[in-house]
């Protein structure tokens, strides 16, 4: 089945915003057995939109359109589809009532223009939008499916996941398609491919690898007549992969390393503190991006210079003997901050982030020290990259090693 | 003049990468007087690409295509254009020689497939690619301009800026079009629009506002027969805007607040240190994103808990009296870190970042303290938003106030 995606909005043609909806939707179609042939962007111009829809209607089986469903006069997706299909728009009174309730709940007068969003054509089924006022449309006519969704990614993704994806799955042959993403760190994509190669050519479940900032992701996608069957296929393949990649697998789906480390610390009732040098606070920042991190994170020291190290009563001799970027210094940083902030676990992180090499160590050299009061250990890594990439990689490595030491 | 952008590559239709080239190019076209009507994405399928090019050739004056210029068999942009224009591809021997020199410089055997990238049709002028092997093409035929560029954004942007933009400017009537972006902070977009309204309707130079993470940007774009004339128009309008928006204007074009603050500190020979609570290290992290920041940044303290504050010998009574998020505490944090790290200037930052309110203060409440040894002051701001947005806004506010205090 041929699919086509159409993004609607003059703001896209002015380059004011980058269209992320198309890539999101594109990635959702292969497991449905849909073959995406074209993506197009068109502005808020009714004639050009009708032409674009007409072309899509002629060459594709499934057309997915986003944007142009707002309440203002330049939002013309509804009118263009009515023109394409030679249907009339009427106002749906149930929708108007829902809008009125929504606005009265927020104690705002409903602008008259919002009534436009309650317009619908006879062949369109209304798809509710729990995150906004613009509803979507599901149209099945002449052996084609035409779907419209609002442009804001939050509204679009929620409508897609909860309403339209299940509907499309059902229409695509009553099969259920489920995915799970396993997240790994510490292996190159080539190495993951090599290790997982027996499964990469399988057709059900399929397996695909993706290189991301926090490591290599593996997406398992299974097709089956029932959800339980698809889940079983995924669980088996997940077990295969975990057996091969072992503790390089650190999480799945929406997991983040900082979230997992935080949950482990909270579960064990342990308090963490960190001391950084040239990552300049990024480790503390990432740890505290997790809501509720104050339950297990005491705080951090950022020692960017010798003066700062001195203020933290850090052993200057150690630095002059081993270097500011060294295993010994990383370990001592872990101990220093652990004691200073009365934490259970201290983590020290030091890396060469550029612009020049430090103490003869090249850009991308990373040392991580962990002290949990009983055992002190250090790890070294090397990742080429620019300043911001090295900072990011150093922090990911530190969180990954911290997770291993907590398990 | 009607323009159209075509992105080529099956990886885009699989959603494996998000197309950022189209938005970049789209934003470049309005100052050229080019009206972008469509953007399309098509996979590595020669027939579908020829169809898409044919349609663009029929409806647009200027067609800009990116991608599909690699050396492998699935890169078919050259072949599709040759088919569209009924021309023959021949191998350009100068290009082959350049490739051979390049590969021999890097001591790599040139794969035979690279020869394909030296293919060219009679009506195409070769555009050099200093950052890769794939050259671009500039085709003028039948009152149309067709441009091809490689897909990797680094290669595309360099080719566009250095070669194709000047060429297009010249073809669009021999006029020079220049832009300058002024960056402001501390005013809403509505307020900037109101203040700048006398200039928003002007046609040369034009003025447009954009809401960004680091404040409201104003882009001035001038058209003239010569660069000096366009520069003069921009300089006059810049002076108008600076007179109205005063010290809300903190920079221009590629300036960043952390870069400007860093340059001011370095020029004055001053050392900075920062103490943060609930922004969790983001301020230190942003400051140290600037290469060479070790020249003026001593380090930072992240006090996420009372234990951390105690370790930094921070006055616990002050916190219990005024609250962890208060002007008094922010000022005391500035003084504490200034003294502790023997810096010239200390900055303290504390904010309510959620998930819950703190001490009755709502999410988004921000306090900034600055102590330069002579004068101690504090500032308060309030920005609604989620956890990460509040962290970002708090840091931007802190850097903005630090810049003002340094001037």
Of A24, A41, A304, the CB nearest to B288: A304
A296: tokens are 């297990």
Residue B358 sits at the chain A interface (C-beta within 8 Å): no
pLDDT of residue B126: 96
Find how far residue A231's CA is from the centre of its chain.
22
* Residue B104 reports pLDDT greater than 90: no
State the CB neighbour count (10 A cutoff) for residue B30: 18
Planar angle of CA B135, B137, B138, nearest 5 degrees: 145
Percent of all residues in chain B with a pLDDT value above 70, rounded to a whole number: 100
Q: Cβ separation of A14 and B20 shorter than 8 Å?
A: no
Residue spans of the domains in chain B: they are 2-171, 176-252, 257-406
Name, in order, each residue with C-beta under 8 angstroms of B60's C-beta and a sequence gap of 6 or more: B2, B3, B4, B37, B38, B144
- In whole angstroms, give the CA distance from residue A382 to residue A366: 6
Nearest chain B residue to A289 by CA: give it: B388
**What is the band of A131 on the pLDDT scale with cuts at 50, 70, 90?**
confident
Is the pLDDT at B108 greater than 80, yes or no?
Answer: no
B356-366 residue pLDDT tens: 888 999 999 99
Nearest chain B residue to A24 by CA distance is B15
Question: A41 and B42 in contact by Cβ < 8 A?
Answer: no
Shortest CA gap A200–chain B (Å)? 17
Judged by CB atoms closer than 8 Å, whether chains meet at A300 and B281 is answered as: yes
pLDDT tens readout for residues B52-102:
999 999 999 999 999 999 887 888 999 999 999 999 999 999 999 998 988
Q: Give chain A's largest Cα–Cα span.
A: 83
Residue B14, class by beta-carbon neighbours within 10 Å (0-12 exposed, 13-18 middle, 19+ buried)?
A: middle
pLDDT of residue B144: 96
Across A242-246, A307-311, B156-160, least confident range: A307-311
Other CB atoms within 10 Å distance of the CB of residue A293: 22
What pLDDT, on the 0 to 100 scale, is given for residue B130?
Answer: 86
Predicted confidence at residue B171, as pLDDT, reads 87
Helix (H, G, I), strand (E, B) or coil at A15: coil
Same topology between domain B176-252 and domain B257-406: no
Q: Is the pLDDT of residue A102 over 90?
A: no
* Residue A109 touches chain B, beta carbons under 8 Å: no
Closest CB to B30 among A14, A19, A298: A14
Of A148-162, A305-319, B36-50, B387-401, the one with minimum mean pLDDT is A305-319
Residue A130's pLDDT is what? Answer: 86
A341 touches chain B (CB under 8 A): yes
The answer, yes or no, to whether residue A100 has pLDDT greater than 80, is yes
CA distance A163 to B1: 42
Residue range A176-252, CATH number: 3.30.70.2860
Crossing angle of the two packed helices A387-406 and A257-268, in degrees rounded to 10: 30
Residue of A nearest to B211 (CA): A16
pLDDT of B355-403, one tens digit each?
888 899 999 999 999 999 999 999 999 887 789 989 999 999 999 999 9
Side by side, the strands of the sheet bearing B2-8 are: A124-127, A136-141, A144-149, A62-66, A2-8, A35-42, B35-42, B2-8, B62-66, B144-149, B136-141, B124-127
**What chain A residue is nearest to B4 in terms of C-alpha separation?**
A13
The whole-angstrom distance between B96's CA and the closest CA on chain A is 31
CB–CB contact A284 B281 (8 Å)? yes
Interface mutation vs chain A, best among B45, B304, B350, B358, most A CBs within 10 Å: B304
Token code pair at residue B220: 């001035």
Cβ of B26 and A36 within 8 Å? no
Q: pTM of the predicted model, to two decimals?
A: 0.78
Q: What pLDDT score was predicted for residue A50? A: 97
Rg (CA), chain A: 27
Whole-number mean pLDDT of chain B?
92
Residue B325 banded pLDDT, cuts 50, 70, 90? very high
Q: Does residue B175 carry a pLDDT above 80?
A: no
Tell me the pLDDT band of B212, cut-offs 50, 70 and 90. Answer: confident
Q: How many Cα atoms within 13 Å fall on the side-chain side of residue B113? A: 8
Architecture of domain A257-406: Alpha-Beta Complex (3.90)
Mean pLDDT for chain A overall: 92
Mutate to test the interface with A, among B31, B39, B45 (most CBs of A within 10 A): B39
What tokens does B356 get? 């819950």
Q: Which among B386, B78, B147 has a CA at the least distance from the CA of A291?
A: B386
Q: What is the mean pLDDT of residues B268-274?
A: 97
Could you read off the pLDDT of B9-23 as tens digits, one per residue?
988 998 878 899 999
Q: Closest-CA residue in chain B for A341? A: B308
Check residue B294 and give its pLDDT: 93
CATH value of A2-171 in 2.40.37.10, 3.40.980.10, 3.40.50.1100, 3.40.50.300: 3.40.980.10
CB contact set of B350 (below 8 Å; sequence gap of 6+): B276, B277, B278, B279, B324, B325, B326, B329, B330, B333, B366, B367
What does the alpha-carbon distance between residue B351 and residue B71 come to, in Å, rounded to a whole number?
53
Contact status of A42 with chain B (Cβ, < 8 Å): yes
Tokens of A178: 């489920």
Question: To the nearest whole angstrom, how far is the Cα of B399 from the nearest Cα of chain A?
Answer: 16
Question: Is the CB of B53 inside 8 Å of chain A's CB atoms?
Answer: no
Q: What is the predicted ipTM?
A: 0.76
Is the predicted pLDDT of residue A175 greater than 80, yes or no? no
Among the listed residues A93, A68, A66, the one whose alpha carbon sits nearest the alpha carbon of residue A78: A68
Q: What is the pLDDT of residue A385?
A: 78
Regarding beta strands A35-42 and A2-8, do their DSSP bridges make them parallel or antiparallel, or are they unpaired? parallel
Residue-wise pLDDT tens digits, A326-374: 999 999 999 999 999 999 999 999 999 988 888 999 999 999 999 999 9
The CA distance from B346 to B253, in Å, is: 28
Rounded Cα–Cα distance for residues A174 and A176 (Å) = 7
């Amino acid at each position: 089945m041929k699919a086509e995606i159409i993004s609607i909005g003059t703001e896209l043609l002015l380059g004011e915003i980058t269209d992320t909806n198309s890539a999101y939707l594109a990635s959702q179609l292969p497991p449905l057995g849909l073959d995406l042939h074209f993506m197009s962007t068109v502005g808020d111009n009714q004639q050009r939109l009708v032409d674009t829809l007409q072309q899509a209607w002629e060459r594709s089986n499934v057309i997915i359109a986003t944007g142009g469903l707002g309440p203002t006069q330049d939002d013309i997706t509804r009118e263009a589809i009515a023109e394409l299909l030679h249907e009339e728009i009427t106002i749906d009174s149930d929708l108007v009532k829902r809008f009125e309730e929504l606005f009265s709940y927020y104690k705002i007068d409903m602008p008259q223009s919002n009534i436009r969003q309650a317009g619908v054509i006879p062949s369109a089924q209304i798809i509710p939008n729990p995150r906004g006022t613009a509803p979507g449309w599901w149209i099945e006519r002449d052996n084609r499916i035409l779907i419209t969704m609002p442009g804001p990614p939050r509204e679009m993704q929620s409508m897609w996941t909860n309403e339209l994806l299940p509907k499309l799955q059902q229409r695509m042959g009553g099969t259920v398609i489920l995915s799970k993403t396993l997240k790994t760190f510490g292996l190159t994509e080539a190495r993951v491919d090599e290790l997982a190669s027996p499964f990469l050519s399988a057709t059900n479940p399929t397996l695909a690898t993706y290189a991301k900032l926090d490591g290599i992701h593996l997406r398992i996608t299974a097709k089956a007549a029932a959800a339980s069957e698809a889940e079983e296929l995924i669980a088996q393949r997940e077990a295969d992969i975990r057996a091969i990649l072992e503790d390089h697998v650190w999480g799945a789906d929406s997991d983040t390393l900082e979230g997992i480390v935080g949950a482990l610390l909270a579960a064990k009732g342990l308090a963490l503190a960190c001391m950084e040098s040239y990552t300049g606070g990024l480790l503390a920042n990432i740890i505290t991006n997790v809501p509720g991190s104050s339950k297990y994170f005491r705080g951090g020291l950022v020692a960017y210079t010798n003066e700062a190290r001195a203020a933290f009563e850090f052993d200057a001799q150690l630095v002059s003997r081993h270097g500011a970027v060294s295993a010994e210094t990383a370990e001592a940083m872990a101990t220093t901050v652990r004691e200073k902030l009365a934490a259970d676990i201290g983590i020290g992180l030091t890396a060469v982030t550029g612009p020049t090499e430090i103490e003869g160590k090249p850009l991308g050299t990373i040392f991580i020290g962990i002290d949990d009061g009983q055992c002190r250990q250090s790890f070294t890594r090397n990742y080429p990259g620019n300043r911001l990439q090295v900072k990011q990689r150093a922090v990911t490595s530190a969180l990954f090693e911290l997770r291993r030491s907590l398990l």
